[in-house]
Structure 1
Amino acid sequence: MHFFRSKAFRQLKKNRLAIAGIIFILALFVIAALAPYIAPYNPYQTDFFRTLEGPSRQHLLGTDDLGRDVLSRIIHGARISITIGFISVAIGLAVGVPIGAISGYYGGKIDILVQRLVDIMMAFPGMLLAIIIVSVMGVGLVNAMIAVGIVSIPTYIRLVRGSVLSIKNNEFVEAAKALGVRESKIIFKHVLPHCLAPIIVQSSLQVGAAILWAAGLGFLGLGAQAPIPEWGAMLSQGRGYIRTAHHVTTYPGLAIMLTVLGFNLFGDGLRDALDPKMSRD
C-alpha cells in the first residue's frame, strides 16, 4: 500500500502512455480469466462447412482453415500468452537474481566465471538461443517456456550484479558486517531489497519480450502444438492463407503486437517513475 502513496505512483499516474498500457494489461487479464464465459464458441470446435469465412455476425473475426472461430481462439490464447510470459520471467528471476547477487557481492573468481558464462550466452541472439534449447529439450509449450526463461537469465544476472556492485560498499552493509551478520543474510535481506526497482522494471518489460519470443517459437512450430490456441501457432497455421483469408493471421498478429506494446508502455512508465533520472520529460 505504501507504493500507492509514494511519489513514484504519482509520477506513474501522470504518464498517459503508461496508464494506457496498464488499462490494456488489466483488460487482458480479465479476458484471460473469463475466457470460458465470454468466448462465443469452443476454441477447438471445427466446422468444415464454414472454413476461412471472413468476419460476420456469427463469427466477428471470421473462421480459420478448420472452421474454428478466430475470436474464441484469440480469447483463449490470452491465457496461454500470459502464462508463458509470467512463468518465463519467474524462471529468469529465480535463477538470475541470486546468481547475479552472489557474483556482484563476492567478486573475484566467482564473478569472473559467472560473467564469462553470461558472455557466452549473450553471444547468441535471444531467439536463436531459444531455438537451440528447444531443439535439445524437445518441441512443446512447456519446453518453450523453459527456453524463454533460460534466455532471460543473463539479463537478470548482469542487472542484479551491477546494482549489487553499487550498493555493497554502502555504510549499512559495512555496519552489518561489523555486527557479524551472516553474508547470506546481508545479500538477501540488506542488499537485494535495494535492487528491487530495476528488477521490477526489467520484469515488466521482460514479460512482453517473453510473449514475443514464445510466439516466434510457436510460429516456427517449436512451441505450442496444434490444436492449442496459442497466438504464434495461429499465425503459423494461417500463413498459407494470407492472400485469400488474411484475417486468420491479421488478428492473432494484432493481439501479439498490442500485448507486447502494453507491457512495454507500462515498463517504460514504471522505469521513469522509479528512476526520475531516466525520465524523458
Structure 2
Amino acid sequence: MTGMLAFLRFLLGTRRHMALLGLAVIAVFLAAALLAPLLYSWPSATLVNLGHALARPSLAFPLGADEMGRDMIARLVWGARMSLIVAGASVGVALLLGLLIGGLCGYYDNRASFITMRAMDAIISFPRILVAIMLITILGPGATSLTLAIAISSVPVFARLFRGPILSLKSRDFVLASRSLGAGDMRLLFRHVMPNISALIIVQGSISLAEAVLIASGLSFLSLGPQPPVPEWGAMIAQSRAHLLSTPHVVLVPGIALFVLVLALNLVGDGLRDFADPKSGHAGPRVAS
C-alpha cells in the first residue's frame, strides 16, 4: 500500500497524466472483473437467444448483442474477468519460476547453471507464441492449459532477465559481510540478494501483463483458449469476424476493450519503469546497509 501511494505521488508530482489515465482504466477493468457475477449473470453472457441475434446498440442492449443474441456488455465484463485471470496467473507463475531459476543460476555460477541457462536460451530462440501453441497442442485447449502455456513460454525470459543482476549483487559488500557472519546460501539469496531486485520484478511483471493479455487473446482467436460459450475477447473477435461489415459492433467491442486494456497496462508499465529507474532518484534497486 505504501509503495502504491508513493507511485501515485510520483505520477502526480511529475504530471504523468497518461500513466494516471492508464491506472484508472486498469482499475475500472479490475472492478468489472471482480464484480462480474454481481453485474451480469453467467446465463446472460452464455445462453443463446436467437431472437436478439446481432441486435444493434439500444436501451435493452447498450453495446448490442452478438450473433447468438448474447448481451455484449455481459460478455465483455466476463471476458475481462477471464483475460485478467489468465494473464495474472500466467505472469505470476512465470515470475516465480523465472526468479527461482535465474536466482539459483546467478548465485551458483557452475556447470549446472551453465547448462540450465543454455536450455533457457534454446527455448527463447523459438517465438513465444509458437512454444505456447505446441504446449496447448499437448495439453489440450482450455483456460488452464492456456495459462500454463503462457507461463512456461515466459519463464526463460524472466530467468535470463533476473540472472544478471543477481550475479552482480552476490559479490557486493553487504552480501559478503552477511556471509562472514555465518549466513547460509539460501538466506543470502532470498533475504539479501533477491529483495534488491524487487523494483525490476515489479516493472517486468507489469509490462509482461500486457504481453500475456495479447498472447492469450491471440491463442483464443485460434480456438486454443477457453472453449465456447466461455466469453474471451480473442474468441469473441474470431467468432464474430464474419459480421464485421454488416454489424461491426460485435467485433469492435471486444477489439477496442483489448486495445484499451493493453495500452493502459503499457502506460502504467512505462510509469513504473520511470519510477523504479535509479537515475531518477525516486527508486531503484534497494541495497542493504
Q: Shorter-chain TM-score: which interval?
A: over 0.9
Q: Which residue of 2 aligns with 1:24?
A: 25
Task: Determine whether 1:103 maps to 2:119.
Answer: no
* Cα displacement string for residues 247-279 of structure 1 (whole angstroms, at most 9, x for unaligned residues): 111110111111111111111100101115389
1:97 shift after superposition: 0.4
2:280 & 2:216 partners in 1: Cα distance?
29
1:202-217 matched pairs, under 5 angstroms: 202-217=204-219
Structure 2 unaligned blocks of 5 or more: 282-289
Percent of residue pairs identical: 38
Taking a change above 3 Å as real, the CA distance of residues 109 and 80 of structure 1, as seen in their structure-2 partners, is same
Q: Which residue of 2 aligns with 1:33?
A: 34
1:4-23 matched pairs, under 5 angstroms: 6=6, 10-13=9-12, 14=14, 15-23=16-24
Q: Which residue of 2 aligns with 1:131?
A: 133
1:119 & 1:62 partners in 2: Cα distance?
47
- TM-score, normalisation: structure 1: 0.94
Q: Which runs of 4+ in 1 moved over 2 A?
A: 1-6, 8-14, 36-41, 276-279
1:9 shift after superposition: 5.0
1:170 & 1:50 partners in 2: Cα distance?
66
Taking a change above 3 Å as real, the CA distance of residues 202 and 278 of structure 1, as seen in their structure-2 partners, is farther
Structure 1 unaligned blocks of 5 or more: none
CA RMSD of aligned residues (A): 1.8
Q: Which residue of 2 aligns with 1:179?
A: 181
- TM-score, normalisation: structure 2: 0.91
Amino acid at match of 1:18: A
1:4 & 1:214 partners in 2: Cα distance?
27
1:111-126 matched pairs, under 5 angstroms: 111-126=113-128
User: Which of residues 214, 234, 249 in structure 1 aligns to 2:251?
Assistant: 249
Whether contact under 8 Å (1:31, 1:78) holds in the other structure is yes
1:203 & 1:51 partners in 2: Cα distance?
40
Amino acid at match of 1:3: G
Amino acid at match of 1:149: A
Taking a change above 3 Å as real, the CA distance of residues 217 and 82 of structure 1, as seen in their structure-2 partners, is same
Q: Which residue of 2 aligns with 1:223?
A: 225
User: Which of residues 38, 56, 59 in structure 1 aligns to 2:58?
Assistant: 56
Amino acid at match of 1:264: N
